[in-house]
Amino acid sequence: MTENNQDGRNRKNIKIGFTVTIVQKHHQRTGELTEGIVKRILTKSSNHPHGIKVQLQSGEVGRVKKILRDI
C-alpha cells in the first residue's frame, strides 16, 4: 500500500478497496472524520466540490475528504 495525498473530489482517484476518510452528513458542522475502506462509490459525476460520496464496508456513507492508502 502506498501513501496518497490526493483529495476526494475527483471520482477517478477513488477505487473500491481504498482506505479513505469521510465526513458523514451529521458530522459536517464539526468536521469529524471517519476512516474506512470503500465498498461502493455513490456519486455518478466525475467530480464534486464537497467530495465524492461513498459507502464504506462498515455501511457508513459520507463524502471523501482524503484518500489515505490505495491497494
pLDDT tens track for 3-12: 445 779 999 9
pLDDT computed for residue 69 by the predictor: 82
Q: What is the CATH number of the domain that holds 47?
A: 2.30.30
Full-model pTM: 0.88
**Contact criterion met (CB below 8 Å) for 66 and 13:** no
Low-confidence ranges of the chain (pLDDT < 50): 1-4
**Calpha distance 46→58 (Å, rounded):** 24
Determine the pLDDT at residue 23.
97
Range of the domain at 34: 2-70
Amino acid at 54: V
Per-residue confidence (pLDDT) for residue 3, from 0 to 100: 45
Number of compact structural domains in the chain: 1
